[in-house]
Chains A and B, each alone.
Chain A
Amino acid sequence: QKEVEQNSGPLSVPEGAIASLNCTYSDRGSQSFFWYRQYSGKSPELIMFIYSNGDKEDGRFTAQLNKASQYVSLLIRDSQPSDSATYLCAAPPSNDYKLSFGAGTTVTVRA
């Protein structure tokens, strides 16, 4: 079992819609969870982190964490063509500084 799993997509949404990305993790000891965005040909860029159960909002992005279900999600509201990218979910194994990354979900926002 991979440590972090994402629905592989690709996910295509119309401009203005909500894009919903899901991620599960296997290590119950993981405390912090990260979403990175990677544009084609570029490096991963941190967009959000979350470590408390519930929702965390930052602009059009909302991260949701449910530790009991070992589930973390990212919602992109009012999707824009500039949101078209691959989104990587990451979590550290317990008692470690490294991050385990999911395979990524590619999002395409149709104008």
Chain B
Amino acid sequence: DAGVIQSPRHEVTEMGQEVTLRCKPISGHNSLFWYRQTMMRGLELLIYFNNNVPIDDSGMPEDRFSAKMPNASFSTLKIQPSEPRDSAVYFCASSLTSGGIPPSETQYFGPGTRLLVL
């Protein structure tokens, strides 16, 4: 089975440009999570969706960041305008929140998108 798919894998852009990151969760999973990872701040949860509905966006740093999940198999994270401090690895993860084993909170991560804003 395919795991979580993210694109692009690498993105280099200039400050002020719009950046769109994409994620396809594992088929059948109903929760999707966007994380950002840096050496300084570690792994930070930005936002998560359950059944395509945003549940918690308290980690979204500011209005420049937005995320959508138009259907169960696709989500985007957009940064507009981008700034050098947005440079990080962005991970998407998904889970199946149905209880049982493994636990509902078990998340599976995609390969990540390495973003560099110059």
Chain A contacts to B: CB under 8 angstroms: 31-32, 34, 36, 42-46, 49, 51, 88, 92, 96-99, 101, 103-104
- Distance from B53 Cβ to chain A, minimum over Cβ atoms (Å): 12
B56 in contact with A32 (CB, 8 Å): no
- Distance from B62 Cβ to chain A, minimum over Cβ atoms (Å): 20
**Of B45, B95, B106, B110, the contact of A43 (CB 8 Å cutoff):** B110
Which residues of the partner chain A approach B106 to less than 8 Å between Cβ atoms?
A: 32, 34, 46, 49
- Distance from A42 Cβ to chain B, minimum over Cβ atoms (Å): 8
Whether B97 is near chain A, meaning CB under 8 Å from some CB there, is: yes
Which residues of the partner chain B approach A34 to less than 8 Å between Cβ atoms?
A: 105-107
Which residues of the partner chain B approach A49 to less than 8 Å between Cβ atoms?
A: 102-103, 106
A46-B50 Cα distance, complex, nearest whole Å: 21
The 6 closest A-B pairs by CB, nearest first: A32-B103, A43-B109, A92-B105, A101-B43, A103-B42, A44-B109
Whether B75 is near chain A, meaning CB under 8 Å from some CB there, is: no
**B3 nearest CB neighbor, chain A only:** A43
A49-B42 Cα distance, complex, nearest whole Å: 21
A101 in contact with B42 (CB, 8 Å): yes
Whether B112 is near chain A, meaning CB under 8 Å from some CB there, is: yes
A104-B37 Cα distance, complex, nearest whole Å: 12
Given contacts A97-B97, A98-B56, contact A45 B48 (CB under 8 A): no
